[in-house]
Structure 1
Amino acid sequence: MKTYTLVWVSDDAEFAIEMGHYNSLNEAQAAQPDALSGLAERGGNAESGFWEITVWRGDKIVESYGLENIGGNKKWMSIPVSN
């Protein structure tokens, strides 16, 4: 079974904030706008970081996605994972 973790990561990658755990990629993607509103309360700054969905199977990362701004449109893009 896979777990999808929505994470905000600081631009300098010094820290990350887990914003939630979900059962599907679609569910995690849909949660990002709501998670944005709670980010500042948890120490994050939406202007200086990026969003990632990390997909776990057990204790291994098997997939990863980053939210990219392409031509003014936000799109989740696959990020290569090396194990």
Structure 2
Amino acid sequence: MPTVTVKMPPALHARLAAEAARRRTSKSAILRESFARGPAQAPATSFFERARQYVGAAAGPGDLSTNPKHLAGYGKSRRP
């Protein structure tokens, strides 16, 4: 079996060591079991998926950079 090195914060390592002691098994066995079960959370969604309900809710032009009249005077001084 290949060997993998894992770095983790001290608090997480303490939890792992305590669980291994409680179960009277190795830390490696607990990690293998955890990886075999897969992620406990649903896969992360993209920002677009989370914001989909708000898409199109605002009024106004969709992309100001595509219309040259919106960029008229851009970069020019406003002082007389």
TM-score, length basis structure 2: 0.23
Larger relative contact order (C-alpha < 8 A, sep ≥ 6)?
1
Greater helix content = 2
Report which of the two structures shows the higher radius of gyration computed on alpha carbons: 2
Greater strand content = 1
